[in-house]
Structures are given as C-alpha cells and as structure tokens.
Amino acid sequence: MATQELKLDPHPPRDRPAAAPDLFISRQPVVDGEMRVMGYRVAYSSADGSEPGEASAARLLGDVLSGVGLEELVGESLAHLPLSGEALRALGVPPVRPDKVMLRIAHDTALEPELAATIEALAMRGYALSLYELPGAQFDVSLLERFGTVEVDFSRATAEEAALAVPRIQAGRATPLAAGLIDYAAYDEAKQLGFELFAGPFYASRHRAKVRKVPIGQMGTLVSLAAMQSGSATIEELEKVIDRDVGLSVKLLRYINSAYVGMRGSITSIRQAVMMLGSRGVSRWALLVALTGGPSTPRELSVVGLTRARMCELLGSDREDVESDELFTVGLLSVADALLDVPLETIVDELPLANEVGAALLRRDGPAGAILDAVVSYERGDFDAASLQSHSRGIAISYRDALGWAVGTVSALN
C-alpha cells in the first residue's frame, strides 16, 4: 500500500459554509467562577476599520447575523454582542432571537434620551442587556432597571474602582462581569472582589504562578512527538511512541477515522494510519491529541489552541520563508503553558524544538512569530493591531475556517 502524505484538511469531507462578506469577527469565552463557559464575547468590525454611520452600522450587523451567522461562531451558546448607538438608531430591535444574544450597550449610549424607548423595547421583548464602558465606579445606577449585567474592564479600571463598582451593581440586582483580565492573577482578584462572570485573554494563560515540570511520562511522549514533526520518523518509531500510551493510541485512531470518513474501511492500527496518511500527518495528529485530548483539558482551551494552529498555517500557506508544519506547531504550542500548567519557557527548554519555533513562541521573532502575533491579536478582537496589517486580506475567512475545524476536531476527540 503506497504512503499518502496528506495535508491536515480543516474540513473533513463535508460541505464548507458559504463565504461571508469580508468582515473582522472573533469570539472569546465568558466563564463563571467554576470556569464553565457561559457564552462568548463577539467582537466585529468592518475590514477597513472605518467608523460606520447608521446605514453602514445596520449593514455591518446584518453581515454578522446573516452573512457569518452567530450559530457558526458560537454554536448554541449565548453571544455577547455589542450594539453601537448607530445600529440601535438604524435597527431598533435587531433581527435575532432574544435567547441567542446578550446585547452589550455602552454606558454613554444607554443614557442618550432618543434611545430610551428602543432600550425599553429591547428589555420588554426579553433581550438580556449588558452595560459596558463605564465612566467609573459612579455610573448611573438607574440604568440597572433595564440592564441585568454590568461589565468592568480591568484594563481600564483600577482595583479600587472595581471594588467600589461591585456592591453598586449587586445592589441593583445585576450581575458583575470582569472583562479585560490578562492573567489568572487578575481573574483571582476579580473573583475575590465578588465578580460572577469573567472574560479576557487570561483564559489562554497558565493557571498557577509556581514553576514545575511536566510529568515524566507525558514529557517523554511530547519530546518524542516534537522531534518527529519534521516527518522523518519511520513507521516503527511512530508505533513505538504512540503504542506505549494506550490513551493516545485509542484517541488518535478514533479521531483519524472520524476525520477521514469515506476511506475504504476503518484504520485499525498505527501502522495502517502511517501507511495511509504518512509519518508527517500521523505525528502531527499525535502531537495534537497528546496536548489537547486529555480528560481534564478544558474543551474551550483545546479549541483556542487548535484554532491558532490552523489559522497560523492558513495565513502562511503562500509563504516561502516558513514551513506549514512549523506554523501549525507554533500555533498549537502557544497555549501549551495553559494546557500543561507549566511556564512556556520550561516547555521550550525541555522539548526538542527548532530555534525558530522557540523564538516565535517566546519573543514573537521571525516570520512564524509575526504570524502568531497577528493570530492572537485577531482572536482578542484587537483588529487595529499593527500585526494584522500585512494579513488583513483573507484573515477573517482564515479565522472562521480554523475555528470551524477546531470545534469539529475537539468534538471528535471527546
């Protein structure tokens, strides 16, 4: 049987979604105090970054709701969707069911007299409303008659302002949401202050401050798989590494069979998988499963890592100065510290990674580092970031394709 070096296809044999207008749109999880995903903050913007008037704001929101579709972006979860004053004036009640969204409205917009009737109508129709961009702890508490959630942005507010805001929010029977949390130290602080919902880049950062090493057994598997990412491993070498980890072997075969539905018969052994997919394909799948397929790995964190990996690969598909395998590895390992709860520096030191991969991960150096920087900026909704400028064309479609593949992959692994 001839070996087939198959590329990692983001869409296993099924119809791709129709291409939507080229607008920037991304999501970040909103979690509760038990780290359960309660919804997703949706960020969106026109690709040219222009400030929309009422007509263009309505068209932009229409593209988000119909051209992209909230279901494609957040599934059955609640979408925390920002609405500008222009969109409210143009649309009034948006064309989306109340049980699908929490509408985010800026504090100053909510105080505009001409929008009072519109906001009242939204509340009466059962839309959940979230107040954001507070002027400070002394925000207008009369708004809590309509707004059931109030966001405090920790990237703008001081700890003292956040502490003062919480009792005012709770006194109005609203839920305090801490946004803009950079790391778990900020998350822990917000939790101690009484916040009930949490959002920000902290979710993809390492949990603990202490330094430790990856467990020896797991590190041995990761070291071996990292060394095989060049595709030079033999069938025997791959079998030896994968077969000694029963959980990895089972998950890998299960996922390969799920991903390549339509092949004649099922793949029942690692040797058969290598013969069908090639050593490079199998070693990549194995690294993916070893990092993200653990029973205690948060599902959404796996989605973040796989989205970054595939998006890096897509953005570099026409580059000659960096290999697609390197880009995929860089994207996947960019959340390895959060997945393994180990400092990224330790992981880079202990894994046999190429110098370029380590430099990209730790300092965003080189072409792979620049692409990773753009991917992370886009993921966070920082659409004005300088790192995005050279990738603005096609980056929106790359994100959506990568996210769709990541969600499907994680579902197949679990």
pLDDT digits (tens, 9 = 90+) for 81-110: 999 999 999 988 998 999 999 999 999 999
Alpha helix ranges (H) inside 47-202: 54-62, 70-74, 85-91, 107-110, 116-124, 159-171, 184-193
Residue ending a domain, among 179, 204, 229, is 204
Round to whole Å and give the CA distance between 219 and 217.
5
In the chain, the largest separation of any two C-alpha atoms, in whole Å, equals: 73
Task: Count Cβ atoms below 10 Å from residue 138 Cβ, excluding itself.
Answer: 11
Question: Does residue 10 belong to any structural domain of this protein?
Answer: no
> Taking a C-beta distance cutoff of 8 angstroms, is the pair 261, 313 a contact?
no
Task: State the residue range of the domain holding 113.
Answer: 23-204
Residue 94 corresponds to which tokens in the numbers above? 């948006």
pLDDT at 263: 58
Residue 230 lies in a domain: yes
Tokens representing residue 390 in the block: 């050279």
Domain edge (last residue) among 142, 177, 204: 204
Same domain, 125 and 226: no
pLDDT at 306: 93
Task: Determine, yes or no, domain membership for 376.
Answer: yes
Cα separation of 176 and 194, whole Å? 8
Question: Is residue 68 located within the same domain as residue 43?
Answer: yes
346 and 312 assigned to the same domain: yes
CATH at 64: 3.20.20.450
Question: Percent of the chain having pLDDT more than 70?
Answer: 87
Confidence (pTM): 0.87
Tokens linked to 99: 């049980």
> Would you state the structure tokens that stand for residue 48, as one six-digit string?
């040219």
Number of domains within the chain: 2
Residue 289: the pLDDT is 84
d(CA 166, CA 289): 41
Do 225 and 264 lie in one domain? The reply is yes
Model confidence pLDDT, tens digit, residues 267-295: 788 888 877 777 777 888 888 888 887 77
> Which pair of tokens denotes residue 25?
């749109």
> Do 334 and 402 reside in the same domain of the chain?
yes
CA distance 405 to 16: 10
Q: What is the pLDDT of residue 394?
A: 84
How confident is the prediction for the chain on average, in pLDDT? 85
Work out whether the CA dihedral 222, 226, 229, 231 comes out positive or negative.
negative
Tens digit of each residue's pLDDT (9 = 90 or more) over 59-75? 888 888 877 788 889 99
- Intervals of the chain under pLDDT 50: 1-19, 21, 209, 211, 216
